Structure 1
Amino acid sequence: MTLAIEEALTVFLLAVAFDILIGEPPVRVHPVVWIGRLISFLRARAGPTKVQGILLAITVIAVSVLAAHLLVRAAHVMPVLPLLVGAYLLKSTFAIRCLLETSSNIGRMIDQDMEEAKKMLPALVGRDTSTLTTAQASSAVIESLSENYVDSILSPIFYYILFAPIGLGLEAAIAFKAISTMDSMIGYKKPGLKELGYAGARLDDLANWIPARLSIILIALARPRGARSAIREAFKYHSATPSPNSGWPMAAAAGSLKIRLEKPGQYILLGENPNPETRDIFRATGLVQSAIALTLAAAFICLLL
């Protein structure tokens, strides 16, 4: 194992430990929050055109990557500090504890107080929650949980592992997070954003293309008795969603758990299956938790090789 890979493995393990044991850092020092502020700053000054959107995307990615690189370089004034800074920055690109806890908390609240659950749901989903039934709210949590497994965990780790051998793992993960944050903030087909957010949205589709398809293997392995159904339904229903990527993990999760998922007025996955109940949220959380464990194990092995 070369020194670079050894350091990459140490940074990865520290980042995972940070996430699981501590969770999200305070908003004022969260790197992704600062990326979001940069996007907001540039958006306020950019025209609603594709060219402006391309320039915004290039600027956000370049500034984010350069800032992360320089922070790690600056930390070399003290031993061990570069590893800690690198781990802190890498941790900001994925959110294991936050995703699992938020999903579980909303699942419990749906059982206790549906109106309060509707107020909590926007932390996970972008749809209107005011008229959702219990089944639709449960579906929304499971959809978001499986989709965010890719976007918020698998993809940044994938790019970290892919570029770690050439010493650019952290930079690749940060670049992905910058793209993902742009998509979540301006990647909408709305007046003023359709053209400006086009580059960010297309980059997000491209960046998640491979991880989304890898996710069905990990989801299948996470629950072996539902593996065949997970793979079969992912290939059958992946194109039912507007996104070219989100349908893969969502359909795989629905197939593994043998439930129906629906975004009212948008799509239905596995319509022949029963609607999800709140208990299915916890089954889905367990499924994704196992898939995350497999992801971390695979990443560890790749860095060792």
Structure 2
Amino acid sequence: MRIPSVAIWCSDGPRVAGFLAGLLIDAAVGDPRAGHPVALFGRAAAALERRLYRDARVNGVVHVAVCVGGAVALGVAAERVSHPVARAALTAAATWAVLGGTTLAREGELMAEALEDGDLERARERLPHLCGRDPSSLAAPELARATVESLAENTSDAVVAPLFWGAVAGVPGLLAYRVVNTLDAMVGHRSPRYERFGWAAARLDDVANYVPARITGLLTVLAAPAPRRALAVLVRDGHRHPSPNAGRCEAAFAGALGVTLGGANVYSGRIEHRPTMGDGRKPGVGDVRPAVRLARLVGFAASALCVAAVAARASRKR
């Protein structure tokens, strides 16, 4: 019976150990300050875009296929490394590279500090680290709302979703999700240039985040001070957002914090009106730190579920 146990360790043990190590590294140090793998990929994807770009959906499909296919191939190669320690190290590196929960929480805390100090200029300078809104004319309440909404949505994008796909498909799932999400940020937004070319990236991102966003909403309910209120807002308002996924996260945060999210957002001179979610007051400066704590709790719960799921799969094989 010991030989099969060794074989199970060689096939599944490195994945469990790698996930756990990657989570611990992210918790300890966050994102690297320079040379982040996602930034390196972004430059490569931009270079490929310059070669492939045409105002046509088919060119966008090819762009996405090449980028995601390359990430999947890299992940498959990492999981085929024969030495279990090396495979665990590669899994840890991939997990750390795709996660952003620690850095997200730190950015939220920096926004809280700036707003609590009344330093609007510093807060406006930091907002682009969280979202793409134009901060130039935003007052403290709108900066607080933008921060809370970004913490809600990015808790799914930066933590829950990559862990979900890592638990489902290992390193290929981790890398593929991060590539899909990055491409959506690069070309998936609506603009004259990307209306057609970015269609594939935007739709694939919607599909990749469908289940994780709903898991994020449910974990937020469980972590909320008033779970019934959070659940009620999630069920009632989660579908009102123009995104099929972001609304679930934002509605759950709104209910958990007892605030109302949504309203007019400015993106590069373009105004978008979002439906309101929640029943309470508009968020203020004092709601930013509770939102950071809530994001941390949801991320911790998602991490525990991911490791448990991967370990349970290994146990079933054993």
Fold conserved between structures, TM > 0.5: yes
Alpha carbon RMSD of aligned pairs, Å? 1.7
For residue 130 of structure 2, what is the aligned residue in structure 1?
124
The CA distance in 1 between the partners of 2:207 and 2:173, in whole Å, is 14
Deviation at 1:89, TM superposition (A): 1.6
Summarize deviations over 1:190-246 as a string: whole Å, max 9, x none.
0111111100000000000011111121001112x4111111111211232221100
Deviation at 1:111, TM superposition (A): 2.2
Q: 1:52 aligns with which of 52, 59, 62?
A: 59
Q: 1:281 aligns with which of 277, 282, 288?
A: 288
For residue 173 of structure 1, what is the aligned residue in structure 2?
174
Aligned ranges 1:115-154 → 2 under 5 Å: 115-154=121-160
8 Å Cα contact 2:219-2:298 kept in structure 1: yes
Deviation at 1:94, TM superposition (A): 1.1
8 Å Cα contact 2:14-2:87 kept in structure 1: no
> SS of the counterpart of 2:197?
coil
Q: Sequence identity, in percent?
A: 27
Summarize deviations over 1:98-138 as a string: whole Å, max 9, x none.
01001111111122201111111011011111111211110
Residues 25 and 70 from structure 1, CA distance in 2 versus in 1: closer, same or farther, beyond 3 angstroms? farther
Aligned ranges 1:4-19 → 2 under 5 Å: 4-19=11-26
For residue 166 of structure 1, what is the aligned residue in structure 2?
none
Q: 1:34 aligns with which of 9, 25, 40?
A: 40
8 Å Cα contact 1:260-1:268 kept in structure 2: no
8 Å Cα contact 1:104-1:282 kept in structure 2: yes
For residue 269 of structure 2, what is the aligned residue in structure 1?
none
For residue 66 of structure 1, what is the aligned residue in structure 2?
73
8 Å Cα contact 1:86-1:170 kept in structure 2: yes
For residue 112 of structure 2, what is the aligned residue in structure 1?
107
Residues 157 and 79 from structure 1, CA distance in 2 versus in 1: closer, same or farther, beyond 3 angstroms? closer
TM-score when scaled to structure 2?
Answer: 0.88
For residue 306 of structure 2, what is the aligned residue in structure 1?
299
8 Å Cα contact 2:55-2:194 kept in structure 1: yes
Code of the residue aligned with 2:174 in structure 1: it is: A
TM-score when scaled to structure 1?
Answer: 0.92
For residue 162 of structure 1, what is the aligned residue in structure 2?
168
Code of the residue aligned with 1:87 in structure 2: it is: A
The CA distance in 2 between the partners of 1:263 and 1:55, in whole Å, is 36
For residue 213 of structure 1, what is the aligned residue in structure 2?
214
Deviation at 1:271, TM superposition (A): 6.0
Question: 4+ residue runs of structure 1 moved beyond 6 angstroms?
Answer: none
The CA distance in 2 between the partners of 1:208 and 1:64, in whole Å, is 18
Aligned ranges 1:224-239 → 2 under 5 Å: 225-239=225-239
Code of the residue aligned with 2:65 in structure 1: it is: I
8 Å Cα contact 1:19-1:91 kept in structure 2: yes
Code of the residue aligned with 2:190 in structure 1: it is: K
The CA distance in 2 between the partners of 1:158 and 1:68, in whole Å, is 15
Deviation at 1:269, TM superposition (A): 2.6
Provide the aligned length of Structure 1 versus Structure 2: 296
The CA distance in 2 between the partners of 1:222 and 1:205, in whole Å, is 25
The CA distance in 2 between the partners of 1:50 and 1:272, in whole Å, is 40
8 Å Cα contact 2:260-2:277 kept in structure 1: yes
The CA distance in 1 between the partners of 2:122 and 2:302, in whole Å, is 33
For residue 269 of structure 1, what is the aligned residue in structure 2?
276
The CA distance in 2 between the partners of 1:275 and 1:188, in whole Å, is 27
Could you tell me which runs of 5 or more consecutive residues in structure 1 were left unpaired when the two chains were aligned. Answer: 164-168
The CA distance in 1 between the partners of 2:79 and 2:206, in whole Å, is 29
> SS of the counterpart of 2:262?
strand
Deviation at 1:51, TM superposition (A): 0.1
Deviation at 1:263, TM superposition (A): 3.9
For residue 249 of structure 2, what is the aligned residue in structure 1?
249
Summarize deviations over 1:74-98 as a string: whole Å, max 9, x none.
6x5x772332222112211111210
